[in-house]
Structure formats: C-alpha cells, structure tokens
Amino acid sequence: MRVRVEAREVHWRWYGKLILEDGRTLLLPGDVAKWVRVGEELRLVTRSRARVLDWDDYRLGRTDGTLLWPPFSEEVEHPRQGFSGRALYRYHLRAREARFESDFEAVAELEQYHYASDHETVALWRCPDGEVQAANTRPPCKSGEARLLEIRGSTPASRFLILELTERLPFEPRIVGYIRLDPPIPKMHRRLPNGEVVRDIRERVFPKDWLHPTFDLKEALQDAQNEGELGEADWQELTERVLDRVETAAFRIARVVVHPDYRSDGLGALLVRLALRWAAERRVPEMRREKHLGCTIAQMARFHPFFEKAGFRYLWDTASGRPVLAYPLSEEARRHLERFFAEDPVAREHQGRLYRPRYGQVAPLSAPIRLQRVVKAYRSTLDLEGLPEDVREVLLAFGVRRRRIERVVLREASAEFPPGSVSVLWGASGAGKTTLLRLLLGEPPDAGEVARPEGRVAAYLPGEVEPELGERAVLEAVYEKLGDVTAAIEVLNRVGLSDAVLWRARPKELSTGQKERFRLALLLAERPALLLVDELAAHLDLATARRVARGLSKFVREAGITLVAATHRPEVLEALEPDQVVYVGYGSVWAETKNSAH
C-alpha cells in the first residue's frame, strides 16, 4: 500500500521513527529514517495491524522500487587459496548494514585501527546528565550508562556496512571489519605531475549531476551564519535540510577498516566488493538515484592494492596529493572512464594502475642443496661434579654416577632441496629437525657431504640463531634493511603484521607472537636466497599460524626464496603447501614430494 510520511525522528544512528499520515509509526534505524523526506510517498508492505510497527513487522520502499527496509544483508563464503589454488580454509561471513547500538560500538573499536584516523579517541559518548566524553570504548558516567553519540570523522550522511563472522572460534571477534559510504565530497581539484592544479576535475570527466547536489554542510552552515546565530534546534534543522537535498549518482568509500589479524586474508577487497553491491542494489547512501560511480580518496592505496584488487582504477591525485580511484557501476560510467584513459596524457601512461610491488625477486640459489650420506652425532659426558649434595644423593639412588652420552641423530642421511622450493621438516621433538637445519646453516657433519650453493642465508633457530630486534620501530627496522618503504610494508603484511599503528611500536612493546612475526619480517628483509626457520609459528594461535604460513609460502615462492621450515603443527604444514615433506627420525631422513612444481 502507498503511505505518506508526516514526520521523522532521528534519535541515534540505530534508532529513529517515521510517523505516517494514517497515524502509524515505523521504527527503524536513524541512519535510514534521516533519508526519508517529510511528505514523501512510500510503499509499505505489512500484515500487522499494530499502530507501532517494529523492525521485523514490515517492508518499506520508494515508489520507484528502491528497497529502504529491511536492511541489506548478504551471507558470503570466503575461501583462501594457497599457492596451488586449493582452498586451505574459508571464512563464513555476513555483510549487513549496521543497525544495532552494539554494531556502532564495534565500528568505534575498529576505527582505532584505521590508517588515516587523526584522533587519539575515535568516538563521542553522551552520559544521561548530558556530559559528552571522548573515548574509544564506553566510558563511565557519574550516573547511568553512556550512549554512543557519534564516531569522529563520520558525518550525518555516513552509512556503515559491517562484516561479521558467522562461524568463529571462541576467542575471535564477532565483527572483523566495516566500510563507510558517504556522498561525494563537494569539490575536487587535481594536481598534475608538474604541479599544475586543474580545478573541478570530476566535472570534466563525468556529468555534473552525478556529483551534485551532495552533502555540503559547511557551505550551508556559512549561509546560515550569515543570516544569524544557530541554536541546537536550528543546527538539527539545517542538517536535515542538507540531507534532503542530497541526490547524486555517485558515492564515496570514506573508510575501509579490517581487524589487523585478518587483513592479510583479503577481507578488505571483499568488503569493497560487497559495498559496491550494496550501493548498486540500495542506492546508498541516500537511496534516491541509481548509482553509476563509486570513488575513494586513499593515500594508503599507494602501499596496498586491495582497492585495485576489487576492480577500482586510479584516476589522479587531488590538489593535496592524495590518490583518487574509481569504479564504474554502469556502462555509461565505463565509457566515461575509458575516454579519460584514452585522452588524458597522464592517465594514458598509468592506465589506472597505481600500486606496484617493490620487493621483487631475490638472487636465488643456483643449484639444489644436497645432503649425501650425512652422519651427525652428539657426544657429551655427564657426571655429578659440582652438584648440591641433595641432588647427588637422588641421582646416586637411581644409579647415575658418570655417563658418556653418544647419540647419533643422522645416520648416512641423504636429501635434496631444490632452489625456490618450500620444504617442511616433520618429526617428533628431538628427532633431528633442528640438527638438519644447523647442517644447512653451515655446521659441519661428522661424515658425508652437505653441498650448498652460494647465496645469502637467513635463519631463525630460537635460542641459537635469532635476528636482532634492536630498538627501532617495526616499520623503520624493516625499511632500514630494504631501503624501500613499500617493500617493507609488503613484507610486514605477508607475515601478519598489518596494523599500521603497530608499525610504530618498538620491539619491547610487542607480544611474543608479534615478536616472532617481526623476526620473520627482518629475515625476509635480508632478501635471502635460503630461509631456514625452526618451529615456525610456534607462538601463534591456530588461526593466526595458518594465515602467516599461507602468506609466507606465497611470498617466498613469488620471490624465488628457498624455504626450509621445521614444524610439528598440522595446520602450518597444510597452509605452507610444501613441495616436499622431509621426515626426520631414528637417524633417517626421507622425503615425500607434495607439489610437482619443483
């Protein structure tokens, strides 16, 4: 049935009302209610005869068919492939518009991880007595409970799509990311490579009415201030007037935030693709015009390709030097973009590509590493000299006096490690995995031969050979070794250190698991031909260990690094997708080929 809106109320982002002319009230989030104009005619579908319709009691849409309520929601499965293309594990996720107070609290918590956040505290909270506090999580009030007032940096026009895990381990967060969509910014100028500034660049490429009228509270505020002072009620009315005017065929991705532990698994690009579907299907943020174009202004796109992985193409730099990327949602938009790339001299050169990997290939091993009939034994003498009397008495009671220990760890063992391959050493504790790594590192065998071609070697054998963590911040330390900040970020992302806030941390501020990943990054920063790692991911939880092993395996193969890693964890073995598993035990070594690539 057709209904007409008599009034709207927006109390919080998650709570609002539409009052209809027939006297009924529709409850829905304020982020939806604010985009419905008073006097607008809508289509309402309901079986309820109640005067107040709750969220689940109705469907609401515009007369052109645009669905306003229920909110957008999509279940997705996100498989993560290894080097071979086989799915190693998968995420079960739901993307949906933020609608509950707890959703926006999760957004505020995630906002702390956003690269571009200018605020030490990212949210404003209001106490029952009216006091407003800035905090990242719910602050204490003198009486009652604080409510989330606003997420700093967002605008009244912002819409939020959250990504939640529908299947998760008990310790995993429910919401692992969000994306924020806004109307286009009011003005944009372009800075050319020669420093010249081209004003109003978007209107030279796309139809002006795709970008206007947009949400421009600053201009409206200046006009209102010229007419007199603004009270709180006037401010609310001004905001509503500006929201009512917005009607564009474009939108802007203003934020993409993924929990740092999940960034290396492609959830950023997934969120962007889901947001594109949300915008195309629901015409967000204002839900009025068909959307032709999505855009973003993102400095971090120079250092991470997830926008380009989602299909965005680089256009130009703004006058302030930030890159602008765009995605066409219609054939008409695609034609405008192709014309720009064909006719603009600068765009003709870059053709929409901004990010370029910088780590590249290492100087690889020139031949396989070969162990031929290797013998390795350890000999020691144990006696009671120097022990406390009580300890001596106990050992004597068990018949322990003086003992010469001779243990043969490897007995005429032979193995081969092809250049550029990934090999996993597998065996029980004490079987000889670490001994084999020592031989590969250069310790001489008692008999036989270890033939290792020339090439840079980096090794992490905990307690024996470890990269020095130093005192420099994480990103600085990796950058210092590589001499290229983009390459340093590549390395950190691949070992699961994807939080830009963490890049500023000193080693002493890292957890044990973070230190392990930092050590891996320092080893890769050496650009080794051969990487040796004992007990890979020993200090990481199952999910993180799997992500790190998958990222490391793909990275070393792309770079041409030969990796030999010891582990006893099945999930690490699976995620590494080794070319061979080298079983070590009872003095023997034997290899099983897993991947025919080498």
Q: What's the rounded mean pLDDT across residues 572-597?
A: 87
Residue in the structure block whose two tokens are 């839900």? 287
C-alpha–C-alpha distance, residues 187 and 460, integer Å: 52
Q: Which two tokens stand for residue 287?
A: 């839900």
Spell 533-571 as b/e; 16+ CB within 10 A means b.
bbbbbbebeebbbbbbbbbbbbbbbebebbbbbbbbbeb
d(C-alpha 578, C-alpha 565), whole Å: 10
Report CA torsion sign: 136, 138, 142, 147.
positive
Tell me the average pLDDT across 133-149: 89
Residue 373: is its pLDDT beyond 60? yes
Domain locations along the chain: 2-70, 75-212+248-350, 217-243, 369-377+408-593
Match 């420093």 to its residue by tokens: 195
Cβ-contact 258, 188 below 8 angstroms: no
Q: How far apart are CA 321 and CA 575, in angstroms?
A: 40
pLDDT in tens, 306-317: 999 999 999 999
Distance between CA atoms of residues 369 and 164, nearest Å: 46
Distance CA 312, CA 67 (A): 26
Question: Could you tell me if 563 and 552 are in contact, meaning their C-beta atoms sit under 8 angstroms apart?
Answer: yes
The distance from CA 146 to its chain's CA centroid, rounded to whole angstroms, is: 30
Rg (CA), the chain: 30
Check if CATH label 2.40.440.10 holds for domain 75-212+248-350: no
Confidence at residue 119, expressed as pLDDT on a 0 to 100 scale: 57
> Which residues contact residue 170 at a Cβ distance below 8 angstroms, ignoring those fewer than 6 apart?
none
Report the largest interatomic distance among the alpha carbons of the chain, rounded to a whole angstrom. 100
Residue of 205, 235, 200, 206 lying closest to 221 (CA atoms): 235
User: Residue 68 corresponds to which amino acid?
Assistant: L
Nearest to 513 by CA among 477, 542, 470, 533: 542
Task: Count Cβ atoms below 10 Å from residue 376 Cβ, excluding itself.
Answer: 24
Topology agreement, domain 2-70 and domain 75-212+248-350: no
- Provide the b/e sequence for 58-87 (b: ≥16 CB within 10 Å): bebebeeebbbbbbbeeeeeeebebbeeee
Residue 123, H or E segment: strand 123-126
Does residue 96 contact residue 73 with C-beta atoms inside 8 Å?
Answer: yes
**How confident is the model over 232-258, as a mean pLDDT?**
91
In 3D space, the residue among 159, 4, 169, 29 whose CA is nearest the CA of residue 92 turns out to be 169
Residue 233 has a pLDDT of 58
C-alpha to C-alpha distance for 163 and 165, rounded to whole angstroms:
7
Helix, strand or coil, per DSSP, at residue 456: coil
Residue pLDDT, tens place only, 453-497 = 999 999 999 999 999 999 999 999 999 999 999 999 999 999 999
Task: Please state, rounded to an integer, the average pLDDT across all residues of the chain.
Answer: 92
| pTM exceeds cut of 0.85 | yes
Residues 6+ apart with CB under 8 A from 304: 268, 355, 489, 493
For 504, phi then psi, to 5°, come to: -90, -5
Q: What pLDDT, on a 0 to 100 scale, did the predictor assign at position 596?
A: 47
Alpha-carbon distance 26 to 15, whole Å? 11
**pLDDT band of 387, cuts 50, 70, 90:** confident
pLDDT of residue 597: 43
Task: Report phi then psi at 5, rounded to 5.
Answer: -85, 125
Quickly state the pLDDT bin for 188 (edges 50, 70, 90): very high
Helices (H) and strands (E) in the chain, counts: 16, 29
What pLDDT does residue 229 have?
A: 58
Percent of the chain with pLDDT over 70: 96
Tell me how long the chain is. Answer: 598
Separation in Å, CA 280 to CA 31, 289, 315, 338: 18, 10, 21, 20
The DSSP string of 361-418 is -----SS-EEEEEEEEEEEEEE--TT--HHHHHHHHHTT-S-EEEEEEEEEEEEEEE-
d(CA 106, CA 397): 62
Mean of pLDDT values over 131-160: 91
The average pLDDT across 326-331 equals 98
Q: Which fold has domain 369-377+408-593?
A: Rossmann fold (3.40.50)
With a cut of 60, say whether residue 417 has pLDDT above it. Answer: yes
Considering only residues 445 and 224, tell me which one the structure prediction assigns the higher pLDDT.
Answer: 445
Beta bridge partners of 132: 126
Which pLDDT belongs to residue 30? 96
Tens-digit pLDDT profile for residues 48-98: 999 999 999 999 999 999 999 999 999 999 999 888 888 999 999 999 999
HSE, CB side, 13 Å, CA atoms: give it for residue 494: 27
Answer for the pair 492, 475: CB distance below 8 angstroms, yes or no: yes
Coil, strand, or helix at residue 546? Answer: helix
Q: Where are the alpha helices (DSSP H) in 192-324?
A: 201-205, 217-227, 232-245, 267-282, 306-309
For tokens 């008990």, the residue is: 170
Segment 107-139, tens digit of pLDDT: 998 887 665 455 577 889 999 998 999 888 889
Six token digits for residue 141: 């009030």
CATH 2.40.50 fits 2-70, yes or no: yes
